[in-house]
Amino acid sequence: MNPQFEHLYEALSKVDGYIYPNEIELSWSILIVLYPFITGLVAGAFILASLERVFNVKALRPTYVIALLTAFAFMLVATMPLIFHLGQPLRAWEIMITPHLTSAMAIFGFVYLWYLMVVLLLEIWFDYRADMVVWSKDAKGLKKWLYKAFSLGINDASPESRKWDDKLGYIVTVIGIPSAFLLHGYVGFIFGSIKANPWWSTVMMPVIFLFSAMVSGIALVMLVFMVLNYVRRQKIDMLCLDTIAKYLFYIIIIDFTLESLDQIHRFYEAEESFEIISLLMSGKLFVTLLIFQILLGMIIPLITLGTLQFFKPKEKIRQAIYFVTGLLVLFGIFFMRWNVVIGGQLFSKSFYGFTSFKLSLIGPEGFLMASIWLVIPFLILAFLLWLFPPWKKTQHEHLPAE
């Protein structure tokens, strides 16, 4: 048989009930799942950094720079899943040079650029400027020239100039917090504003995306912080780790409450889409939603982190619990994005049927491609940590917020 028809018959065998022809195959696959996941990690890591800087949580000081570098490494990759999904990388700049001001998607280019250039890059630059001046004097070869170029030829590392760095960096962080909210709230808005899809169309979507972003970003920085200390054979600052876990616990409570509120609202309203959505939740999404996202990604971390707020076992045990919990949280948030993106395309907009989705291993939308875009940010982070080692920075306290 003609391969085209083999494909049609295979696709039709995945269909249950009635479905429109253009809904049989999913147009958004794992790369579009990665996009909100990676963007969320950026926003979350940045918000953890600003807890130290703006909200003056001193215990988080050792994670400040790590959080910023993590956010930066993931930010550089955030658009890649989108560009590779669209498959026309040479047209990507068109949304910048001929901006369509009424398209939410097109505005993303500017939100992204603002956040990357004005917020993240500047904050890291102000934090490292004086160090780069000092390092450029001792370093040799490539490093020396990179430091010179990145410090924009400034030679001044005096306490006076550091005060200015702190002041300006503080202003950037204050601008950065609403920008981080804007960046990830916007990703939620893209889904929340699609009124034809009842699984996406809720005003809660930007808020839920924002808080789940914070959850995943904090968990990631916690893991990076622990791994860095293991690799460098340093004793982990337990006050810092306990404090990150405490904030992670608080934000998971808020996130869990908001997501539950959204679902309860859906159940209580029971609009005409309710039947298909409840079938979706108890059927196609049973494993990824109820087991992966809610049980493994939310309830177990809530129980473990909650218990550790009252009962403190030995440091080694606490570290192990934090490590596993961090991984579970990241796993759960990844599947939260999965359930939104893939789940929203599994049911027919006629509300009478389902299609199904099978992730391929290779190919432009396959598992391997997605893995590449999840590994690259860690390689970038390793490079950044080599070039800008936080442990070699001159110790100084940020100026208290004025």
Partner 1 sequence: MPVQLKRLLILGVVLFSVFLLFKYLLTPASFGQYGHYRGLALEENAALTAKYTGSEACYDCHDSIVAVKNESLHSSIACESCHGPGFKHIEDPENEKMDQPDSREFCAHCHAFNKARPEKAITQQDIREHNPDEKCIECHNPHQPQQ
Task: State the Cα torsion 142-146-149-153 to the nearest 10°.
Answer: -90
Phi, psi of 354 (to 5 degrees): -130, 155
Q: Applying CB under 8 A, which of residues 82, 168, 258, 374 lies at the interface with partner 1? A: 168
Q: Is 196 in the site for partner 1 (CB under 8 A)?
A: no
Encoded amino acid at 200, one letter = W
Q: Is 5 in the site for partner 1 (CB under 8 A)?
A: yes
CB closer to partner 1, 16 vs 242 = 16
Interface with partner 1 by CB under 8 A: which range of 52-60, 161-169, 314-322, 389-397? 161-169
Q: Applying CB under 8 A, which of residues 87, 98, 272, 316 lies at the interface with partner 1? A: 98
CB closer to partner 1, 133 vs 381 = 133
Alpha helices in 294-366 (DSSP H): 300-310, 315-341, 343-346
Q: Applying CB under 8 A, which of residues 61, 150, 161, 319 lies at the interface with partner 1? A: 161
3-state secondary structure of 396: coil
CB of 20 to partner 1, least distance (A): 6
Instruction: From 342, 329, 336, 56, select the one nearest 174 (Cα to Cα).
Output: 56
Q: 64 with 52: CB under 8 angstroms?
A: yes
CB closer to partner 1, 150 vs 181 = 150
CB of 7 to partner 1, least distance (A): 11
Q: Which of residues 102-131 bind partner 1 (CB under 8 A)?
A: 117, 122, 125-126, 129
Residue reference for tokens 């990690």? 41
CB of 163 to partner 1, least distance (A): 9
What gap in Å lies between CA 36 and CA 54, rounded to an integer? 26
Three-state SS string over 146-157 comes to HHHHHCCCCCCC
CB closer to partner 1, 163 vs 312 = 163
Q: Is 97 in the site for partner 1 (CB under 8 A)?
A: yes
Q: Applying CB under 8 A, which of residues 156, 278, 313, 320 lies at the interface with partner 1? A: 156
Binding pattern for the stretch 21-40 against partner 1, x by CB under 8 A and - elsewhere: x--x----------------
What gap in Å lies between CA 207 and CA 142, rounded to an integer? 44
Q: 39 with 184: CB under 8 angstroms?
A: yes
CB of 90 to partner 1, least distance (A): 11
Instruction: From 366, 364, 367, 374, select the one nearest 330 (Cα to Cα).
Output: 374
CB of 150 to partner 1, least distance (A): 11
CB of 308 to partner 1, least distance (A): 42
What gap in Å lies between CA 355 and CA 16, rounded to an integer? 6
Alpha-carbon Rg of the chain, whole angstroms?
A: 23
CB closer to partner 1, 98 vs 395 = 98
CB of 98 to partner 1, least distance (A): 6
Task: Give how many residues touch partner 1 by CB under 8 A.
Answer: 33
Q: Quote the tokens at residue 100.
A: 């369509």
CB of 25 to partner 1, least distance (A): 12
What gap in Å lies between CA 124 and CA 72, rounded to an integer? 9
Q: Which residues pair with residue 16 across a beta bridge?
A: 354
Q: Is 149 in the site for partner 1 (CB under 8 A)?
A: no
Instruction: From 358, 3, 39, select the one nearest 216 (Cα to Cα).
Output: 39
Angle among Cα 31, 36, 41 to the nearest 5 degrees reads 115
CB closer to partner 1, 192 vs 353 = 353
Binding pattern for the stretch 312-351 against partner 1, x by CB under 8 A and - elsewhere: ----------------------------------------
Residue reference for tokens 């001044």? 156
Which residues of this protein are in contact with partner 1, per CB under 8 A?
A: 1-2, 4-5, 8-9, 12, 15, 17-21, 24, 93, 96-98, 100, 117, 122, 125-126, 129, 152-154, 156, 161, 164-165, 168, 353
